[in-house]
Structure 1
C-alpha cells in the first residue's frame, strides 16, 4: 500500500515534500480541497507601523518580544525597524530646520534623541534572542534528524524481521508513527532523502499489512478512532468565538488527518471524509463573519480618525493669535490627538492612503503656523536677551560696591526689570539667568555681611593706630621749626590715612590729638604761624585726597563766616555811637573796641583763607 508523504516541512514553511499516490480516497479528496490552509496563519496582525510615534513603536516592539516567540515576530520587527529609521530621519530634518530658523548654523547642529538608545536596546535584545533561537534550532534539527533515522531503522525492522504478535507489532507501529509526527524539523539539506526513505519503508509496511489481516484491522480501527476525534474537535471549532483561532486549529486538524487517520475501512473512508469536509466548509464560512467584523472595526476607525483630523484643523485655525502659553497647550493637545490617531487600528484599504495624507497635511499646516509664530517670537526673545544682558552688566558693576544704599536700590530695581522683560531664546535662558542670579546673590551676600566686614576693618585700623601711636610717642621732632611743622603734618596725614576705629575705642583718636597738640605747642608758634600752619595743613589734605566736595564745603563755610563777622563788626560799630558822650576810659567802651579788633582780625584771617582756598590747584 502506498501513502502520502508527511508534509510537516510544508506546515513549517518549507517546500520540500511532495505527495505520492495513495489508495485512500479520503486523502485524495483532501489534496483537491482548496479551502484548506497549507501554512499556519499567524495570530499576530501587522499594523500601520509608519503612523506610530517613537514611544508607541518602542512599546509595540517590547510587547511583541515579551508575548511571542522570536521566530514569529521577525517580519514585524523588520517593519518596526524600517518605520523607526524613517521617523528618525524626518525628526532630524524637522529639528535641524527649527535650529536654523532660530538662528543656529547648520554645521553646528547635533541631532540628539533618547529614543534611538531605547529602541536599540529592544532591537538588540531581539537580535540576541533570534541568534540564540537559531543556535538552539540547529541543535534541535540535528537531534530530530537522529530521531527520524532511528524511527526509519525501527520501521524497516518491523516488517523485515517480524517476531512479535500482531497486537504488539501494531502497537509498536502506532508508536513509530506518533514519534515521526512529533519529531519536528530537520536540516533542509537532509529533508528530501529522509522523507523519501521514510515513506518508502512506510509503503513497504502497508504492503506487509495487506498480507496480515489482523494487523490491518487493528490499524483501520485506530485510524477511524482518530478520525472521529478530529471530527468532534472540528464540531467544537464551529462554536469557537475567535474565528482566527478556529481557522488556525483547523489547519492542524487537516495535517493530523493526513498523518494519523489514514487508512480506514473502505466503506467508512468517504463518509468520514465528507463529514470532516462539511465541517471544514462551515468553519471557512465564518471567514465572512470575521471579515465583516474587521470591516466594521475599520469603518469605526475611519470615523474616529476623520474626527481627529477635523479637531486638528480647528486647533490650527485658532492657533495664529495664541500666546506662548496657549501654544504650549495647543502643541500638547495636538500630540495627544496624534497619539490617538496612531493608536487606532487600520481603516478600509481604499481609504488608508487618503486618510494618512489628510492627517499629514493638517499636522504639517499646524507645524507651519507654529513655526511662523516662533520665528516672530524669536525676534522678540533676541531683543529680550539684549535687555537682560544690559541688566547683567549693571549687576556686575555693583558686585563689589560699598555704596550700600545706592547699590541696594539699583540691584532691586534691575531684578524687578528682569521679571518684566519676558522670555529669551531657550539656549541662553538657563545660562544668563544663573549668571544674573549669582551676580545679584554675590552682592547681597556682601551686603548682609557688610557690618561684620566693616567691624573687622575697624579692628585692623585700631591695631594699626595703636602701633603708630606708640611709635609717635617716641618720635623725635626736628628742632628746625619749618622741618618740624612739615614732619608733624606728615605724621598727622599718616594717622588720618589709617582710617576709622570701633566706636567703643574712639578714645585713641583723642589720645593722638592730645599728643599731637603737645608736640605742636612745644614749637612755641605765634598765633599767626599756628593759623598759617593749620590752613596749609588743610590745603595739603584737600590736595592729597583730591576731594572737591570737601573744598567746596570749606569755601561755603568760610564765606558764611565772613558774612557773619562783617555783620557782627557793623553791629559793634553801631553800638560805639551809643557811647559818644562816654569817657574814653569807660570799661564798656573799651570792651566794644576789643571785640571789634578781634573780629576784624578773624575777618582778615577768613578772607586770606578764602583767597587761599580759591587758589588751590589740584594739578600742582
Structure 2
C-alpha cells in the first residue's frame, strides 16, 4: 500500500528506542521501584489493557440498544474486521484491488480471450477470480448467441439439425486459457494450505515464547529486546487459516498486554512505547482523514481496511490521556468514508436499475419486430438486421440488479428464439421455391450453352435476349448455388455476343481506307482559313459545303472508328461560327450536315426520332407563344413602353423566330423522305 509508506517502520523505530533507553540504564544495576510507584504503574497498565480490549473489540461489544447510525457504523467496522481476517489467510487477495475492472460486456470474443490470457500472465491467480468469473460468463453468453446464429444459417441452407456442428479457434483459445487458470488455482491452494499450517505453527510458537518472557530472570533491557524480536517475527510470519486468525491474534494480543503489565517495573520503557504508538496512530488517522476527501471512494475504503489492520495488528496501546480521543477521531474518518461508500452503492443501484429499463425496452423492441408480418426475403433481411442491432444493444447495456439478472436474460433469449423460429419457418418455405427457381435457371443455362456457338445470328440473337430477360424474372435460388450458376449463364451468353461483336467489328479494307482518308481531310480542315468579310461570306459557305460533300463521298468507317464523325462535325461547326452570317442560317447549315449523317445510316429509326423531336418542339413553342399573347390581354391601359409589356413582346418575337427555324428544320427532314 504505497500511500502508507510514509509511516515510520515499526520494528526499526522500536529497536532504536530500545537502544536509546538502554544507554540510560546500567546493565548491571537492578531497577529499583517503591511499592507506591509499583501500584500506580500497575493500575495504569490495567486501565490501558481495559481500554485496549474495548478498542480491539469495539465492533463486537456495542450495546444492542445503540442508535441505528451507531449500529451502521459498527457494521462497517465488522466488515473491515472480516475482510482483514480473510486477507490474513491469503495476502495475495490484496492485489485484487489493483486490477482494473473492464467493461467485459462490450468486448468481442477474441478480446475476452486475450484479456483472460493477460490476467493469467500478469496477475496472481488468487487475485483474479472475480475477473475470470465475469469474463467466463460473458464469453459463454456471447458464444452461445453466435452458436445459435450459425445453427440458424445451417438450417436455412437446408441442413439437418442433428448434423449441426460448429467450432471456433477463439473458443479453443479461451478454453485453453481457462483450463490453465483452473490448474494454477488448484496448484496455488494446495501450496497455500501447506504454508498456512506451517505459519500457524510458527505463530503459536511465538505465543509460547511470549509466555516465557514473564518468568525470565534477566536484565529488563534484554527481555524487552527479546519481546521486540518476537513482535517482529510475528509480523513477518505469513498468513494463517482464517478460521484460526481471530483466536491466534487474541491470544497473541493477550500475552502482549501481559508483557506490558510486566513492564510496570520500568515506566520509561512503557511510556516510550506509548509515545511511539501514538505517533504512528496519529499518522494513520491523518491518512484516514485524507482518504475521507478522496473522490475515488472504493479505493479509499480499501486503503481504510489496511489502516485498520495496521492499527490492530502492528501497533500497541497509547497513553490513557489520548486513547479515547484518537479512537473517536479514527472512527469519525471511518464513518465519513463509509457514508460516501453507501452513497456510491446507491448510485450504482440506480445505474443498474436504469440498465434494466434499457434491457426490458430492448426486449419489447424485439417482441414488436416479431409481431410485424413479413412475406418477402427483403423484409426478413431488414428484420434480421434490426434484431442484430437490438442484440448488440442488449449486450452493451451494462449490468442489471443481480436478483433479476437471470430472469431478464431468460426473457431476452426467449424473444430472440421466437424470432428465429419464425424466420426458420419462412426460409424453409422459401427453400422450396428457391429449388424450383434453381431448376428453371438450369434449363436456361442449357439453352445458352447449346446456342453459344450458333452461326444463325438472326434466329439465335432474339432467343439469347429472351432467355436473359427470363432469367431476371425468375426469383432467388439457394445462396450456395447463386454465384456458380450465374457465372455459368453469364459465360455462355457473353461468349455468344462476343462472337457477334467480333464479326461486326471486323472492318473491311475499304472502311479502313475511308477512315485514313477522312483523318487526312480532318487534319486539312483544322488549318483551313475562311474569308471573314461580308462579301466573301457566300464563298466561305460554298467552301464548307464542298468539304462536307467530299467527306460524304469517302464512305463509311469501321464501327470502332466512328468517333471521327463527331470530330468532323465539331470542326465544321467551328468553321461556320467563324463566318459573319446570320445565326439561323449557320444553324440550318449545321442541321443539314447533321441530317446527312443521320440519313447515311441504314436504320431509319434515327430519322423518325428526329422528326418526332422537331414536331414536339414546334408544339411546345406554339403553346408558349399562345400563353404569352394571352398574358398581354391582361395589360389594359398600359403603355407599350412599360418594361413588363416590352419583355413580353420580346419573348414573343424570340419564340416566333425559334418557331420559324424549327419549321425550316422539319421541312429539311421531309425532303429526305
Task: Report the TM range for the smaller structure's normalisation.
Answer: 0.5 to 0.7
Counterpart selection for 2:327 from 267, 273, 292: 273
Counterpart selection for 1:387 from 416, 440, 446: 440
Q: Write out per-residue CA displacement over residues 337-364 of structure 1, whole angstroms, 9 at most, x where no aligned residue.
A: 2211222223456665665455445434
Q: Write out per-residue CA displacement over residues 398-441 of structure 1, whole angstroms, 9 at most, x where no aligned residue.
A: 57x46474777766654554444342112333444455556667
1:254 corresponds to 2:298? no
**Counterpart-to-counterpart distance in 1, 2:327 and 2:216:** 34
Summarize the Cα distance change of 1:267–1:31 in structure 2 as closer, same or farther, 3 Å threshold: farther
Deviation at 1:201, TM superposition (A): 7.7
Alpha-carbon contact 1:320-1:373 (below 8 Å) kept:
no
Partner of 1:73: 128
Deviation at 1:197, TM superposition (A): 9.8
Alpha-carbon contact 1:170-1:218 (below 8 Å) kept:
no
Counterpart selection for 1:29 from 51, 58, 63: 58
Deviation at 1:222, TM superposition (A): 1.8
**Counterpart-to-counterpart distance in 2, 1:438 and 1:276:** 87
**Counterpart-to-counterpart distance in 2, 1:365 and 1:139:** 50
1:374 corresponds to 2:433? no
Summarize the Cα distance change of 1:323–1:423 in structure 2 as closer, same or farther, 3 Å threshold: same
Deviation at 1:293, TM superposition (A): 0.8
Q: Write out per-residue CA displacement over residues 478-512 of structure 1, whole angstroms, 9 at most, x where no aligned residue.
A: xxxxxxxxxxxxxxxxxxxxxxxxxxxxxxxxxxx
Deviation at 1:257, TM superposition (A): 1.1
**Counterpart-to-counterpart distance in 2, 1:322 and 1:280:** 66
Deviation at 1:289, TM superposition (A): 0.9
Alpha-carbon contact 1:142-1:186 (below 8 Å) kept:
no
Deviation at 1:71, TM superposition (A): 2.5
More divergent stretch after superposition (78-87 vs 283-292): 78-87
Deviation at 1:253, TM superposition (A): 1.7
Does the residue aligned with 2:58 lie in a helix, a strand or coil? Answer: helix
Q: Write out per-residue CA displacement over residues 528-563 of structure 1, whole angstroms, 9 at most, x where no aligned residue.
A: xxxxxxxxxxxxxxxxxxxxxxxxxxxxxxxxxxxx
Partner of 2:270: 216
Alpha-carbon contact 1:61-1:77 (below 8 Å) kept:
no
**Counterpart-to-counterpart distance in 2, 1:448 and 1:416:** 20
Deviation at 1:382, TM superposition (A): 1.9
Deviation at 1:270, TM superposition (A): 3.0
Deviation at 1:259, TM superposition (A): 0.7
Alpha-carbon contact 2:374-2:380 (below 8 Å) kept:
no
Query: What is the number of equivalent residue pairs in this alignment?
Result: 422
Alpha-carbon contact 2:288-2:330 (below 8 Å) kept:
yes
Q: Write out per-residue CA displacement over residues 248-285 of structure 1, whole angstroms, 9 at most, x where no aligned residue.
A: 22222221111122222234333322322233233323
Summarize the Cα distance change of 1:274–1:93 in structure 2 as closer, same or farther, 3 Å threshold: same
1:344 corresponds to 2:397? yes
Unaligned runs of 5+ in 2: 1-47, 62-73, 85-93, 505-673
Alpha-carbon contact 2:206-2:234 (below 8 Å) kept:
no
**Counterpart-to-counterpart distance in 2, 1:311 and 1:345:** 18
Counterpart selection for 2:170 from 118, 122, 136: 118
Alpha-carbon contact 1:151-1:180 (below 8 Å) kept:
no
Residues 575-614 of structure 1: matches in 2 within 5 Å?
A: none
Summarize the Cα distance change of 1:375–1:130 in structure 2 as closer, same or farther, 3 Å threshold: closer
Using the size of structure 1 for normalisation, the TM-score is 0.54
Summarize the Cα distance change of 1:347–1:106 in structure 2 as closer, same or farther, 3 Å threshold: closer
Alpha-carbon contact 1:47-1:345 (below 8 Å) kept:
no
Summarize the Cα distance change of 1:366–1:46 in structure 2 as closer, same or farther, 3 Å threshold: farther
**Counterpart-to-counterpart distance in 2, 1:190 and 1:279:** 30
**Counterpart-to-counterpart distance in 1, 2:396 and 2:133:** 20
Alpha-carbon contact 2:435-2:477 (below 8 Å) kept:
yes
Alpha-carbon contact 2:441-2:471 (below 8 Å) kept:
yes
Residues 535-546 of structure 1: matches in 2 within 5 Å?
A: none
Deviation at 1:76, TM superposition (A): 4.7
Alpha-carbon contact 1:320-1:369 (below 8 Å) kept:
no
Q: Write out per-residue CA displacement over residues 3-49 of structure 1, whole angstroms, 9 at most, x where no aligned residue.
A: xxxxxxxxxxxxxxxxxx96523113255444221127976899999
Partner of 2:338: 284
Summarize the Cα distance change of 1:262–1:408 in structure 2 as closer, same or farther, 3 Å threshold: farther
Does the residue aligned with 2:83 lie in a helix, a strand or coil? Answer: coil
**Counterpart-to-counterpart distance in 2, 1:198 and 1:90:** 56
Partner of 1:503: none
**Counterpart-to-counterpart distance in 2, 1:178 and 1:133:** 31
Alpha-carbon contact 1:247-1:284 (below 8 Å) kept:
yes
**Counterpart-to-counterpart distance in 2, 1:353 and 1:165:** 66
Alpha-carbon contact 1:152-1:197 (below 8 Å) kept:
no
Summarize the Cα distance change of 1:350–1:293 in structure 2 as closer, same or farther, 3 Å threshold: same
Alpha-carbon contact 1:306-1:355 (below 8 Å) kept:
yes
More divergent stretch after superposition (89-98 vs 328-337): 89-98
Deviation at 1:315, TM superposition (A): 3.6
Alpha-carbon contact 1:151-1:179 (below 8 Å) kept:
no
Does the residue aligned with 1:35 lie in a helix, a strand or coil? Answer: helix
Alpha-carbon contact 1:238-1:246 (below 8 Å) kept:
yes
**Counterpart-to-counterpart distance in 2, 1:354 and 1:147:** 45
**Counterpart-to-counterpart distance in 2, 1:162 and 1:402:** 125
Summarize the Cα distance change of 1:206–1:448 in structure 2 as closer, same or farther, 3 Å threshold: farther
Does the residue aligned with 1:29 lie in a helix, a strand or coil? Answer: coil
Partner of 1:333: 386
Alpha-carbon contact 2:200-2:240 (below 8 Å) kept:
no
Q: Write out per-residue CA displacement over residues 584-610 of structure 1, whole angstroms, 9 at most, x where no aligned residue.
A: xxxxxxxxxxxxxxxxxxxxxxxxxxx
**Counterpart-to-counterpart distance in 2, 1:395 and 1:103:** 29
1:39 corresponds to 2:83? yes
Alpha-carbon contact 1:384-1:422 (below 8 Å) kept:
yes
Partner of 1:427: 480
Does the residue aligned with 1:262 lie in a helix, a strand or coil? Answer: coil
Alpha-carbon contact 2:203-2:237 (below 8 Å) kept:
no
Summarize the Cα distance change of 1:345–1:118 in structure 2 as closer, same or farther, 3 Å threshold: same
Residues 133-532 of structure 1: matches in 2 within 5 Å?
A: 166=221, 177=231, 180-181=234-235, 183-185=237-239, 206=260, 209-317=263-371, 319-321=372-374, 323-348=376-401, 355-356=408-409, 358-398=411-451, 401=453, 403=455, 405=457, 414-415=467-468, 417-436=470-489
**Counterpart-to-counterpart distance in 2, 1:176 and 1:35:** 31
**Counterpart-to-counterpart distance in 1, 2:217 and 2:179:** 51
Q: Write out per-residue CA displacement over residues 462-486 of structure 1, whole angstroms, 9 at most, x where no aligned residue.
A: xxxxxxxxxxxxxxxxxxxxxxxxx
